[in-house]
Amino acid sequence: MPEGLLQAEDVTVRFGGVVALDSVDLEVPSGQIVGLIGPNGAGKTTLFNVLSGVIEPNGGRVLLGGTDVTRWPTHRRGRAGIARTFQRLELFDRLTVYDNLLAAWEGVTPGAVLGRHKSEGRARVAEVIESLDLGALATRLAGTLPTGQARLVELARAIVTAPRVLLLDEPSSGLDDVETSWFAQVLGQVAGARDGEPAVLLVEHDMSLVMEVCAEITVLDFGQRIAHGPPEQIRNDPRVIEAYLGAEIEPEGSAIEPEGAIAP
């Protein structure tokens, strides 16, 4: 098995009698953007929650840089370098954009809550704000931002913590085409920028975005991993096409109605 920066091994999650994840493996190697796709209810969000520590799995392990973090609570994983964004935006609505970033940095930096490393934190926030061109929004309250800008701020808030792994949960939902392509561009710049970190795991419904930015794609269906490989391979995998993708990735888009095949 290839050594990933973040790995899920044999992860199983049951909700009552329902098996949400059935012995799923996943590797996110350094410097790569890995896509995680599958129809609704396939277990993507569950796997995401297992990786970030919101749900404890019934079986299997989660490894970060080779360390078993399966039993670690969410906040400890955050400090160890797992950062994420949320499909349903979870900004600190009544803080300014600047304070959202600063608070996140303080959250993962030991001693910062006691007032240490103040200038270091402010410098880091300023750097990220500049690199993502958020200067105009810095004094706005996060809860007042339109979706597109809010998604960008969520990304900035994750980046500011200098994570080892970045988990992105449907970052393009609610964005228009222009915003999505801008997002893809930013993502390309961010991934692996520091010695192969952060590695990125991307859950996404927008197929063209996934195909464009991901080096590897893992496909889940009914809680099981049904395929894994580079985009071209996924594009032509009959199981994947059957399970999920349908006409959307057919070269001519001839076979199936694209709308009907993809769950909204």
Partner 1 sequence: MSSLWPFFVIGLFSGSVYALASMGIVLTYRTSGVFNFAYGAVAMFCAFTYWQFRDGWHLPEWISLLLVLLVVAPVVGFVSDRLYRPLVGVSTEVQIVVSLGILAFFEAGVPLAFGGRTRAIQSIFPISTFGVGSILRVSWAQLATFLLTAILALGLYVLLRHTRFGMASRAVIDNRDLAGLLGVNATAVGRTSWVISSVFAGLVGILLSPSQGLQVYVLVTVVIYAFAPAVLGRLVSLPLAYAGGMGLGVLQSVLQRWGASGTVADIEAAFPYLALFVLLVVYGKRLTEVRSGVKPVIGASVMSPLLMSRQKLLTSGGLVALGLFALPVLLRGPDLGDVTAGLIYAAIALTLVVLVGWAGQISLAQFSFVGIGAFMAGHFAGAHGSNFLWAALLAAAIAVPVGLLVGLPSLRLSGLYLALATMAFALLMDNLVFPRTDVSGGYTGMSVPRPRIFGISFASTTSFYELCVVLLVLFGVAALAVQRSAVGRRLKMMRDSPLAASTFGVNLTTTKLVVFALAGAAAAFAGAFDGAWHLTVSPSNYTFAQSLELLLLVVLGGRSLVAGALLAGFTYTTQLLPIPTEIEKFIPITIALGVVSVAAVPEGSVALTVKQFWAALDNFRRLPGSPMPAALALDARGANGAQLERGANGAQLQRGANGAQLQHGAQQHQGANSAGSDGRDGAAVYPAAALSGRGGESPLGGVAGGVAGSVAGDGSPVEELVATTRGGGGGGDA
| Least Å from the CB of residue 146 to partner 1 | 6
Among 5-13, 105-113, 219-227, 241-249, the segment contacting partner 1 (CB under 8 A): 105-113
- To the nearest whole angstrom, how small is the minimum distance from the Cβ of residue 59 to partner 1? 22
- d(CA 175, CA 93) in angstroms, rounded, equals 19
Q: Which long-range contacts (CB under 8 A, 24 or more apart) does 177-185 make?
A: 179/148, 179/151, 180/206, 180/209, 183/151, 183/152, 183/155, 183/209, 184/209, 184/212, 184/213
E strand map for 121-179: 165-169
CA distance linking residue 53 with residue 40, whole number of Å = 21
Establish if 173 lies at the interface with partner 1 (CB under 8 A): no
The angle subtended at Cα 203 by Cα 93 and Cα 41, nearest 5°, is: 100
- Taking CB under 8 A as the binding criterion, the range among 6-14, 29-37, 104-112, 240-248 that sits at the site for partner 1 is 104-112
Positions in 61-80 near partner 1 (CB under 8 A): 73-75, 78-79
Among 29, 30, 92, 215, binds partner 1 (CB under 8 A): 92
Angle subtended by helix axes 97-108 and 147-159, to nearest 10:
30
Rule CB under 8 A: is residue 190 a binding residue for partner 1?
no
Q: How far is 134 from 139, CA to CA, in rounded Å?
A: 10
Q: Is 144 in the site for partner 1 (CB under 8 A)?
A: yes
Q: How far is the CB of 222 from partner 1 (least distance, A)?
A: 23
| 20-59 residues near partner 1, rule: CB under 8 A | 52, 54
The footprint of partner 1 (CB under 8 A) covers 52, 54, 73-75, 78-79, 83-84, 86, 88-96, 99, 102-104, 106-109, 112-115, 140-141, 143-147, 157, 161
